[in-house]
Structure 1
Amino acid sequence: MRIGLVDDRLMDLEKLKGIVSSVPGVEIVFATQVAEEAYEHIKKKSVDLLIADIEMPNLSGYELADMIHSHALNIAVIFVTANSGYAVHAFELNVHDYIMKPYTRERLIKSIERIMEKNRSSEIAGRLYIKRKNDIHIIQKKDIIFIERSGRSTTIYTKSGPVKTYLTLNELEGELRERDFIRSHRSFIINIHYVKNFSLYAKNSYVVMFDGIAEKAMITKEKIDFLQENYF
């Protein structure tokens, strides 16, 4: 995995270099205090992962991540920052992780290893078998965007369209044990890989919007915190 590092504080940059260089299977392509230099490397798609501070002069880490997101570049981003104020916005940019300074060596290595493991198994394996009257509907798990329970029925929203079933979310949750699926709300299960952004709905809940479909789900503030701690 090719990794780029950017932090305007030399002490923090040296810490990043020391930790990242000890991870087997990685190559540090650049390590710079200048965000503009990191930007030039990103434009050339020379890295698989960018680890960046957020608040830097002239060009911020958030702006670098926004460029990656808006141009749909296949580059993961880890923010390493002393500022917690960007956490929700990081979700909107599909940032892999948001690590608060000061952090431990183990915390950063674990985050990098999660990306490497995700790249090794980039697709969700397996199928979901849905019985409907006399038929069995076969759904590729990787094509499931989210699932909604409404009344006595459940709708599975997939890349090819919705599928109705009477299975409960508890039953479906038992079939979707992959890390990609989380129970975001009592009425929803979401696939985190299709999440486009979160929008505040009420004090303790957010609306979830997805790539490719107009339908929306809900997620609780508690689950937002869980995602931030364990996924991004």
Structure 2
Amino acid sequence: MKVGLVDDRSFDLDKLQAIVSSIEGIEIVFSTLSAEEAYEHIKKKTIDLLIADIEMPNLSGYEIADIIHSHALNIFVIFVTGNSGYAVHAYELNVHDYIMKPYTKERLIKSVERLKEKSKKNDIAGRLYIKQKNDIHIIQKKDIIFIERSGRSSTIYTTTTEIKTYLTLNELEGELRERDFIRSHRSFIINIQYIKNFSLYAKNSYMVAFDGIEEQAMITKDKVDYLQQYYF
């Protein structure tokens, strides 16, 4: 699990780093006094977990968590703070844990270990099983860029390959209930995490370009408006 640490007090940051670095299976990607620096890493999606103080200059930990939540980024958050006033709002943002300073080493380790177990379960649930004659393809849902329906088959475009299936988009949509996936058009399901840009195609539709792939999908104007309101 890749972890980022941010606290504007050196003593508290050193304590975080000492504890987290002792946990098996953890890689600390960054440890910083700057919330702005943490935000730059988050935009690049370099971590699975952010452990952050809340009250910091310029950009607060709460604001960073709000960005993670509103953009549906697949990053867990643990707050380690001396301020109890944000607790209710933190859980509205689906924060994994809210730890009050001063805290014990055991308290933080227990929280991270609980998250690791939760992630293992999510990893199993986060796979799509596609039967194809004598083969079964196991696809990580997070690697799916978009799905296109053409004729009697559907093509699943992933970061590494293309897989055809006779499952309908309705059936696939039922398997992809994660917030990242939307039915953008009657013939397409797209993963919003890979969207690069929209290009006007017709009066009420756009072409969607994605990072890492040349193929494109379609999206209706109503769905673009919906994405702008609820995701971007």
CA distance, structure 1, for counterparts of residue 32 and residue 123 of structure 2: 33
User: SS of the residue aligned with 1:5?
Assistant: strand
User: SS of the residue aligned with 2:37?
Assistant: helix
Partner of 1:94: 94
Cα deviation per residue 1:50-104 (whole Å; 9 max; x = unaligned)? Answer: 0000000000000000000000000000000000000000011000000000000
Q: When the two structures are superposed, what TM-score results if normalisation uses the length of structure 1?
A: 0.53
CA distance, structure 2, for counterparts of residue 10 and residue 82 of structure 1: 15
Shift of residue 122, structure 1, vs aligned partner? 1.4
Partner of 1:109: 109
Q: CA RMSD in A?
A: 1.6
Partner of 2:69: 69
CA distance, structure 2, for counterparts of residue 67 and residue 121 of structure 1: 25
- Structure 1: runs of 5 or more not aligned: 126-158, 161-232
Partner of 2:46: 46
User: Do structure 1's residue 59 and structure 2's residue 59 form an aligned pair?
Assistant: yes
User: SS of the residue aligned with 1:19?
Assistant: helix
User: SS of the residue aligned with 1:72?
Assistant: coil
Partner of 1:24: 24
Alignment of 1:33-182 (within 5 A): 33-122=33-122
Shift of residue 41, structure 1, vs aligned partner? 0.1
Question: Which amino acid in the other structure matches residue 73 of structure 2?
Answer: L
CA distance, structure 2, for counterparts of residue 15 and residue 123 of structure 1: 30
CA distance, structure 1, for counterparts of residue 104 and residue 79 of structure 2: 14
Question: Which amino acid in the other structure matches residue 66 of structure 1?
Answer: D
More relative contact order, 1 or 2 (CA 8 Å, 6+ apart)? 1
CA distance, structure 1, for counterparts of residue 111 and residue 100 of structure 2: 12
Partner of 1:180: none
Shift of residue 18, structure 1, vs aligned partner? 0.1
Cα deviation per residue 1:18-66 (whole Å; 9 max; x = unaligned)? Answer: 0000000000000000000000000000000000000000000000000
CA distance, structure 2, for counterparts of residue 123 and residue 69 of structure 1: 19
Cα deviation per residue 1:85-130 (whole Å; 9 max; x = unaligned)? Answer: 00000011000000000000000000000111011111798xxxxx
Partner of 1:9: 9
Shift of residue 15, structure 1, vs aligned partner? 0.1
Partner of 1:147: none
CA distance, structure 1, for counterparts of residue 124 and residue 87 of structure 2: 27
CA distance, structure 2, for counterparts of residue 124 and residue 86 of structure 1: 32
User: SS of the residue aligned with 2:85?
Assistant: helix
- List, as ranges, runs of 4+ consecutive aligned residues in structure 1 with deviation greater than 6 Å: none
Question: Which amino acid in the other structure matches residue 42 of structure 2?
Answer: I
Partner of 2:162: none
Q: What is the count of residue pairs matched by the alignment?
A: 127
User: SS of the residue aligned with 2:122?
Assistant: coil
